[in-house]
Amino acid sequence: MLSIHCFQFFLFSICVHISTVFIYFVYYSDLISTKYIQDIKPEYDYIIVGSGTAGSVIAHRLATETNYTFVVVEAGCKSHALLEAPVLGPFFHGSLLDWQFQTVPQKHACFAMKDRKCKLAQGKILGGSSKLNNMIHIRGNLSHYVNWFHGKHTKEYLEKQFEFIEQNILHLNDVQYQSDLADAVLGAAKELNYAKLDIDFKSGFRKNIVSQNNGKRWCTSDNLDVNKHVVTNALVEKVIFKGNTAIGIKILLAGRQSNIYARKGVILSAGAINTPKILQLSGVGPQKLLKTIGIPVVKNLPVGENIQDHIGTGLDFVLFNKSVSISAMDMINPLYVLNYFINGKGPWTTPGCEVIGFLSTKNQSDPDLQFMVLPVGLSSDRGSLLKNNVNIKDEVWHKYFSKSFNSYVGTILPLILHPKSRGHVYINSTDPKAPPLVDPKYLSHESDRETLINGLKLVIKFVNTKSIQNIGGYINQNHFPGCEQFEIFTDSYFDCYIKHLTLTSYHPVGTCSMGLPDSNKSVVDTSFKVLGVEKLYVADASVLPTLPSGNINAAIAMMASVFFDNSIKVKNHIPFCYKNDLFKEYLFNVCFDR
């Protein structure tokens, strides 16, 4: 490593350590205050487990459209203004703000990772994984959502749900800072006759719409009155049942166990990994698994099955002979830091992904691949942070990624939109603090490997356009470690490459799949109620039976709104009233005789 690279590594490492210390401060200061400030009532109308996108949408609508009492129970800590800078998202991976999940050793993937385990960052903070993601808002293919509900809701109804959350709940902006790479990729897409995307889903490209407000990260949890409705640092150990009816939850808060009871229902919104974990600990799950661990079975359901994820590859696959992207040095430039905190502008507002595109590898109208264009690569920070986030082996780092130090790196990341590989999430003990075993079986289905190989070929096609060539783009010619026996860029080489460099986009779904009651694959019905038990609902990424066509945050927010309208508002005959301005507040009071 050259002296300049050593200096950069030293400088970046200092920044990583400073951020780590600050995260410790935020986490433990909130943990200490939990003992003395938070007031928890013994009973509420509704209990919401998890403050991520779904839980916060439901909580916001409960607060603004009903007179019900409720509490949001979050295992992580409150956020902090300094943590809202979009560029800092990668610093949270592997920290106290992350559940630090990882897969079991994979048979067909993650070979370049330590112990063949891919990390699965999931937010353990108020706001959940929306505090760690790329803030990208994509509606996806609405026809897929219609299929999820088995015809219960029309495409027009779901479109109106998206319009409702976009206008009343979310805060969306166009990406306001971009690198030269963004325009180059859009130019390449035009050269290759790809359309410019609007709001409708189809093949094409566009600059991102992101969940930001004045340049800072914005999450649905920002709508909540935290002091009134949210309890942080509370680990949910299990759901409490009376017969087959959910009546509350058992939590661990400040080292003490306590129960909270729900009059109308318990709503699990803890995500595609923690929600099945809580259900299994509560006796709802595969009968064979629960009996093996010694948990009394409340209901035999396929909880934890069907996990799937958007999988990609290609970090440091595209190199440049001049700077066209955002460098790690930009992140520590004091002028850029001041520009963010004073004006809400500059590189610190970058979502990490500037452009998205949807492509078909089979010349069909329905895309099966997504491109995410990122202005950085794995080697951009010289190994101080991103290398550990991805869990890359030291040998692979030194033989491949460190060789890019003398080039400039950007990323065109191909992702499989609709993988056929399926795995599971199972607990392996009765300890609520123990992480579950997560085996997504990445790339176990041959068609997934074929799609991703074709995706890499499309990346090469993009790099060979005039638009990318004009900014000095070229493909990394170094053999990936472990694939030296194959001729570079052949199908055999790419098959080896993707099995080694397997990248999750942190979009796990499907572990409590929605479906018809008579299906042996369903955990919840199309009203989000857990089958065979009463007053227990699941509303988060785990209910999605298949992956949306694109980043999942918007789909989850829409689904949470559908849940509220159909399982709370309609079920309880709530009139159409809102608690917002003075006039609406008056109508709200009239509706509920307050």
Q: How confident is the model at residue 35 (pLDDT cuts 50, 70, 90)?
A: confident
Over residues 314-324, the pLDDT tens digits come to 999 999 998 87
Tell me the pairing of strands 423-426 and 536-538: unpaired
Backbone angles phi, psi at 230, to 5 degrees: -120, 135
What whole-number distance in Å separates Cα of residue 557 and Cα of residue 223? 13
The average pLDDT across 288-305 equals: 97
Residue 589 pLDDT: 47
pLDDT exceeds cutoff 60 at 577: no
Task: Find tokens 């949270």 and name the residue.
Answer: 92
* CA–CA gap between residue 200 and residue 191 (Å, rounded): 21
Report the range out of 28-37, 317-326, 405-414 with the highest average pLDDT: 405-414
Assign 3-class secondary structure to 265-307: EEEECCHHHHHHHHHHHCCEECHHHHHHHCCCCCEECCCCEEE
d(CA 161, CA 167): 10
Determine the average pLDDT of the residues in 290-305: 97
User: Environment class of residue 383 by beta-carbon count within 10 Å: exposed (0-12), middle (13-18) or buried (19+)?
Assistant: buried
* Tokens 């350590």 sit on residue: 17
Enumerate long-range contacts of 240-243, CB under 8 Å, 24 or more apart. 240/282, 241/282, 241/283, 241/298, 241/533
pLDDT of the residue at 45: 98
Confidence of residue 453 (pLDDT cuts 50, 70, 90): very high
In this predicted structure, what is the pLDDT of residue 202?
83
Write down the pLDDT at residue 21: 93
Q: What is the mean pLDDT of residues 462-484?
A: 96
Average pLDDT of the residues of the chain: 92
Q: Where are the domains of the chain?
A: 3-569
Token readout for 241 is: 């049942």
Q: What pLDDT sits at residue 328?
A: 65
pLDDT at 257 over 50: yes
pTM (2 d.p.): 0.94
Task: Name the percent of the chain lying above pLDDT 70.
Answer: 94
Residue 191 has a pLDDT of 97
48 band by pLDDT with thresholds 50, 70 and 90:
very high
Task: List the one residue out of 240, 245, 241, 247 whose CA is nearest residue 263.
Answer: 247
Which tens digit of pLDDT belongs to each residue from 489-499? 999 999 999 99
What class, spelled out in words, does domain 3-569 have in CATH? alpha beta
Residue range 267-281: mean pLDDT, rounded? 98
In the structure encoding, which two tokens stand for residue 307, read together? Answer: 């996990």
pLDDT tens per residue, range 99-119: 999 999 999 999 999 999 999
- Closest by CA to 133, choosing from 477, 539, 439, 551, is 551
Residue 588, pLDDT score: 47
Q: Determine what percent of the chain is predicted with pLDDT higher than 90.
A: 80
Of the candidates 325, 289, 327, the one whose C-alpha atom is nearest the C-alpha of residue 305 is 289
Q: Identify the pLDDT of residue 268.
A: 98
Cα–Cα–Cα angle for 339, 26, 509, rounded to 5 degrees: 90
Q: What is the pLDDT of residue 567?
A: 95
Confidence of residue 219 (pLDDT cuts 50, 70, 90): very high
The yes-or-no verdict on residue 329 having pLDDT over 50 is yes
Q: Degrees (nearest 5) of the Cα angle 121, 456, 201? A: 70
Say whether 236 counts as a known binding-site residue. Answer: yes
More confident residue, 177 or 169: 169
DSSP assignment, residue 480? Answer: P
